[in-house]
A and B are shown apart, each in its own frame.
Chain A
């Protein structure tokens, strides 16, 4: 007893001493300080906390910016509505959960290697055992006189973007200095902000690092077609007061350019000042020198990301930085790992133009041979660089069309032997011959996802472990969750592995048609097929089923818009469509008349109430701002509708795969905050698209201002009024898997808005799978939102005229299905429970609850039957 007490006291007063007592073990944590919480710093932290060694460290990080790490790669999305919160790379509660101390908005000012301490700008001094520098880089601003004038800006942080947006409000002209990757991305942002946009490049061509002359010229032509004015071979000598604009740039050749904004994007420089000041070795042209374990010249200090100089190279891409981060975690854990350089191949979309560069694009390798394909009409340029023996791919350049990127990259990285005629890889495919490299040709070591370093082998074992879908695979391996560039390749690996495991990857709609819904749509449209039986005879087999019949019925309706109860179509419809009402659990139906935009007069409400009362229907307000009347028997439907139509109602198509409602807030007519007439627009849109049959139901909403009371961002098509015009959002979804809609286009006038929605809906109707909502449709689309934008906004497929015409046809041929049906004896014939008797179905039994009817439950039913018999 006494002994124990003494022990306790000892423990309290002399911890260090006790720790060394034999038999008593207590680990003392070392302190690990990370300077910089950018993309790479954060990747380091999240890799570290997943590893077991995190237990050994007290982790502290300094973050100079006012917010923790965010996705700089997708920074430009900030201009199209993505918020800072959405760009964040840090999960909620990450720092707390893992006990990491984050010093936000505090910059590490100096390092004292002798005392092993870091002192911050706010005056904090912290002792470290291990130190990781992840300070990134800063935009290089050429020291021309006037570079620090008003509206001379850079493009690196969210604050930079806020400054650009503010400057664009008053300016008319913007000029980007630098025609590299980032410069062109910045130019796109200026264009989107509505500025006349110039790009000034010192080199004789755009993207001088990645492209050769011919590729650069092709890119230039494409970008000029988009409205950007490109000046190459220009050396800025001074920036001074402008006459028509805030600034004037004067060039060495005597020319001048008036511009409001000057946006420097002339390359990056590593942030090595703090390392330099404490005597760490830095490169001649900057960069903290590191070895293969990412150690600096001080063995307790690492450097990773864009501040690090490895083998004389600074990597200005995120993937190599991530690899460095993981290398340090492994090194701390005592595992073998080394950073041995990274591939700098890139593929991206610049202003809708695909550009890719792989490996030795400039054919600098001894004996390299070059193949070039140039198509002036389609503005495509491709170049292959191969080894002297034509067996190995050394590099490639693709402009205008980069679908072959993954294949080429795999050839290059894995040293796969080239086909006999390597040029087949860049020549357009004339027939069905496939020259792509199937996933089977890749070795298990092939890296599929470079952001998270996921190999084909890792993916295959995840698939064997039960990941059968893209989303499961992404969650398990993280592949395709970084830049997303590898998702097509990932999908093909998944498909091929599943096929090998005997899972047939069958996209046939059912056993009667060996086609997808999109194929069927094309057949029907191109061959002008008007009936199911015609389609079945020409392209199918058997008699059809409940999958293909409604699908074809739906396509026929969206293409030719004949009444769905015509003789040829009746047998194709689901019961809801057959009876133009929604079947409920007891076999009765519910009736939903259209209430456009949710606007209804008291008289109409009274009329609706009278019908409900007369037929004793259960009445409920729907989520789409209309009224649902339940409990109607089949034989009552025509009578109910006759009265509704006489009162001025029309079908609400609640039963169809079609436009449901356009929800609206009250908007500027009444609301104090309203910017525009949301109700008026909602009514116009609903009247325009009502009756359109589509792969699944479609919901719209219109809000009168950004307070968004109509919840437009949860709809397939959402419209929000702003001071500058209507903002269009698409592919949102409530329901089982909610999805926030994506901002699609901004500041639209009504005409343009409607044109875009016409195209969007027509394209959806044509290409979606059956029962695929717009959200899933877009997510499964190769190229996703960007591709959809290129089709709808830029008419990449040259389809927009057709899409608009098709929509106009559907609008012109609209009819109220109920009005037509009640005037047609033949169609009404089925609206009775028995074909040979006027009796109703005696199995339909209601009881009363809260003053209205509802179907009797099983117990009540037994009771009822007993009572009746007795």
Chain B
């Protein structure tokens, strides 16, 4: 069952750019694209190629119609809806359910990985 919790306010987001939020111990990269239908996307902040928590600082856009973030370290692209890496489909980063409700940005806790570390 969906379990929406408030993460931050829409004013904390950067248009056409990303921020990172700490949600129950998980680093969640949140991207706001005010001009797209989905408007807001959430994926893991950890870059599995660069082994660093940096994806929220990558550039976003679309490639062949898919919304993507490009890693700021080595430039791999990840689909923001599926988490699949465009350059290597065997690699996938977590994607989270996210929505904007009444000016508040909410993430669905049930979409977070179950084996996550306890909240710090």
B54 / chain A contacts, CB cutoff of 8 Å: 575, 583, 587
Given contacts A545-B61, A546-B70, A570-B15, 12 further A-B contacts (CB under 8 A): A511-B64, A512-B61, A543-B61, A543-B62, A571-B14, A573-B59, A574-B72, A579-B57, A587-B52, A829-B12, A833-B53, A835-B20
User: Does B113 make an interface contact (CB < 8 A)?
Assistant: no
Contacts of A833 in B (CB 8 A): 20, 53
A836 touches B17 (CB 8 A): no
Q: Does A549 make an interface contact (CB < 8 A)? A: yes
- A613 near B: Cβ within 8 Å? no
Could you give 19 example pairs across A and B, Cβ below 8 Å? A542-B62, A542-B65, A545-B59, A546-B58, A546-B75, A571-B17, A571-B60, A574-B72, A575-B54, A579-B57, A583-B57, A583-B73, A587-B50, A834-B20, A839-B22, A842-B120, A843-B46, A843-B52, A843-B53
CA distance A533 to B35 in the complex (A): 10
- Bound complex: CA of A25 vs CA of B106, how far in Å? 92
Contact pattern, B 12-26, Cβ under 8 Å of A = 1, otherwise 0: 111111011110000
Q: Chain A interface (Cβ within 8 Å of chain B)? A: 511-512, 533, 542-546, 548-550, 567, 570-576, 578-579, 583, 585-587, 829-830, 833-837, 839, 841-843, 858
Taking a contact as CB atoms under 8 Å apart, the answer to whether A587 and B53 are in contact is yes
The 8 Å CB contact of A841, one of B8, B53, B62, is B53
Other-chain residue from A544, A570, A586, A829 in contact with B61 (beta carbon distance below 8 A): A544
B63 close to chain A: CB less than 8 A: yes
Q: Give Cα distance in the complex from A839 to B20, angstroms.
A: 12
Bound-complex Cα distance A834 to B65 (A): 29
Does B100 sit within 8 A of A, measured CB to CB? Answer: no
Residues of A within 8 A of B70 (CB): 545-546
Q: Is B98 an interface residue (CB 8 A)?
A: no
- Check A585/B22 contact, CB under 8 A, given A545-B68, A579-B57: no
A-side interface mostly: loop
B1-41, CB < 8 A from A: 7-8, 12-17, 19-22, 27, 30, 33, 35-36
Most chain A C-beta atoms within 10 Å of own C-beta, residue among B36, B57, B67, B73: B57
Note all chain B residues with C-beta closer than 8 A to A829: 12, 14
For A843, give the chain B residue with the smallest CB separation. B53
Q: Cβ of B72: which chain A residues have Cβ within 8 Å of it?
A: 574-576, 583
Contacts of A583 in B (CB 8 A): 54, 57, 72-73
Is the beta-carbon distance between A575 and B58 smaller than 8 angstroms? yes
Report whether A543 and B35 are in contact in the complex, using a CB–CB cutoff of 8 Å.
Answer: yes
B interface SS class: strand
Interchain nearest-CB distance for A583 vs B (Å): 6
CA distance A574 to B18 in the complex (A): 12
Bound-state CA distance A573–B50 (Å) is 20
B108–chain A nearest beta-carbon distance, Å: 16
A549, B72: Cα distance in complex, Å: 13
A829 CA / B7 CA spacing, docked (Å): 16
Q: Tell me the chain B residues, 42-91 only, with Cβ under 8 Å from chain A.
A: 46, 50-54, 57-65, 67-68, 70, 72-73, 75, 77
Residues in A with CB closer than 8 Å to B33 are: 543
Nearest chain B CB to A813's CB is how many angstroms away?
A: 24
User: Smallest distance from the beta carbon of A173 to chain B beta carbons, Å?
Assistant: 61
| Contact assessment for A835 and B19 in the assembled complex, using a CB-CB cutoff below 8 Å | yes
Q: Are A567 and B15 in contact (CB-based, < 8 A)?
A: yes
Q: Does the CB pair A836–B21 fall under 8 Å?
A: yes
Q: Which of A544, A576, A834 has the most CB of B within 10 A?
A: A834
Given contacts A570-B14, A585-B50, A586-B52, contact A542 B19 (CB under 8 A): no
A519 CB, min distance to chain B CBs, angstroms: 19
A839 to B62, CA, bound (A): 32
Q: How far is the CB of A654 from chain B (nearest CB, A)?
A: 16
* Contact residues in A for B19 (Cβ distance below 8 Å): 830, 835
Chain B residues near A578 (CB-CB < 8 A)? 17, 57
Give the CA-CA distance A3 to B42 in the complex, in Å: 92
Q: Which residues of B pack against A, CB within 8 Å?
A: 7-8, 12-17, 19-22, 27, 30, 33, 35-36, 46, 50-54, 57-65, 67-68, 70, 72-73, 75, 77, 120
Contacts of B27 in A (CB 8 A): 834, 841
Question: What's the nearest-Cβ distance from chain A to residue B113, in Å?
Answer: 16
Q: Are A511 and B63 in contact (CB under 8 A)?
A: yes
Residues of chain A lying within 8 A (CB to CB) of residue B65: 542
In the complex, the chain B residue whose C-beta lies closest to that of A550 is B59
With beta carbons under 8 angstroms apart, the residue of B17, B22, B35, B77 that contacts A834 is B22
In the complex with contacts A585-B73, A843-B53, A574-B12 CB distance below 8 A: no
Among all A-B residue pairs, the 8 with the closest Cβ atoms? A571-B16, A545-B61, A575-B72, A587-B52, A546-B70, A546-B59, A571-B17, A835-B19
Complex formed: what's the CA distance from A627 to B10 in Å?
39
A578 to B19, CA, bound (A): 12
Of B20, B30, B51, the most chain A CB neighbours within 10 A belong to B20
A833-B18 Cα distance, complex, nearest whole Å: 11
| A575 contacts across to B, CB distance below 8 A | 54, 57-59, 72
Q: Bound complex: CA of A549 vs CA of B58, how far in Å? A: 12
B26 to chain A, nearest CB (A): 11
Contact, CB under 8 Å: A836 / B53 = no
Q: Which residues of A contact B73 (CB under 8 A)?
A: 583, 585, 587
Q: Flag if B61 contacts A546 (CB, 8 Å).
A: yes
Chain B residues, CB < 8 A from A574: 59, 72
Residues of B within 8 A of A545 (CB): 59, 61-63, 68, 70
Which residues of B are found within 8 Å of A835, using beta-carbon distances? Answer: 7-8, 12-13, 19-21, 30
